[in-house]
Structure 1
């Protein structure tokens, strides 16, 4: 767990002291938890969740004390991007057996049920902020997971191993260097 928290800090910076979860409990329902001291499936409210938040907040499990959504770490995201306000839960994902090099470590933007974040433009605002660095960004609407960053031409070249045109060579090389460790051998 601490390794994941350290990696999140290296990727995004520390938790912002001026941002708090407040009334937001999206992670308490949406995310799966599978840690030594607590487990729950995705999409199921935590058994400790009560009307005004966590019923065991003072003694909550380690995972709940150390995990923070990307909104809590990314200064450039607007205050309105807090999950309960925006309808988007943004997290750093770690996939032990990724299907491609962009899945090993990535940012995942989840559209929450009933969200109007696409129609009102919040999803586009969030993606504009997140898609400006060397971190893969996925968008999930509950049914599909779509790679939003890098752009398709860059992603295709990285995945295929093909020689990149001169104009894209540096960017493709940077993605390959950063995420090559997650490339499949098969």
Structure 2
């Protein structure tokens, strides 16, 4: 079992039995992989990737057998949000040395090169589906990374440690309780 499997299931739910990767290989190119068994930089196709998918699927590394994008776990994401269809790769990220507590464990929505997901509204639909729980959501359009959830006011109080106004106290306290360990 990979070290983050229980966290992924707790935050996102189990793998949905009716969703399969199919022809999608976005993670095989987009993601950084650094394990003792296998490594590759982000944005570089895996050396095992062929025009028919994974060339070593039956014996692929453990990370490739146990990692699943958020589309495979979150039923509220539309079927069209599969990365190869939507142009968006949504993943749960674990940052060893986060710059702030909202980066330690978070959902990252990445726009893939050539995608029209912002213009066609898919990015908004995906963000609406994942910005509904106590998990930070970051959006990357290829040129910058932006915090989408929690909203700016809540994030400011969570990060600054300042006392929040009455209308935000409960929400800020919940975020601090869950993510303070990553600060």
TM-score by length of structure 1 reads: 0.97
- SS of equivalent to 1:23: coil
How many residues were matched structurally? 183
Q: Deviations over 1:136-166 (max 9, x none)?
A: 0000112211000000000001111111111
Identify the residue that residue 160 of structure 1 maps to in structure 2. Answer: 160
Deviation string, structure 1 residues 39-91 (Cα, Å, up to 9, x no partner): 11110100110111001000000000000000000000000000000000000
Structure 1: tracts of 5 or more residues without a match: none
Which has the larger displacement, 158-167 or 22-31? 158-167
Structure 2 unaligned spans of 5+:
none
SS at match of 2:180: helix
- Which consecutive segments of 4 or more residues in structure 1 shift more than 2 A? none
RMSD of aligned Cα (Å): 0.7
Q: Which residue of 1 aligns with 2:18?
A: 18
SS at match of 1:3: coil
Equivalent residue, structure 2, for 1:140: 140
Q: What SS does the aligned partner of 1:107 have?
A: strand
Query: SS where residue 93 of structure 1 aligns?
Result: strand
What SS class does the counterpart of residue 162 from structure 1 fall into? Answer: coil
Partner of residue 88, structure 2: 88
Do structure 1's residue 109 and structure 2's residue 103 form an aligned pair?
no
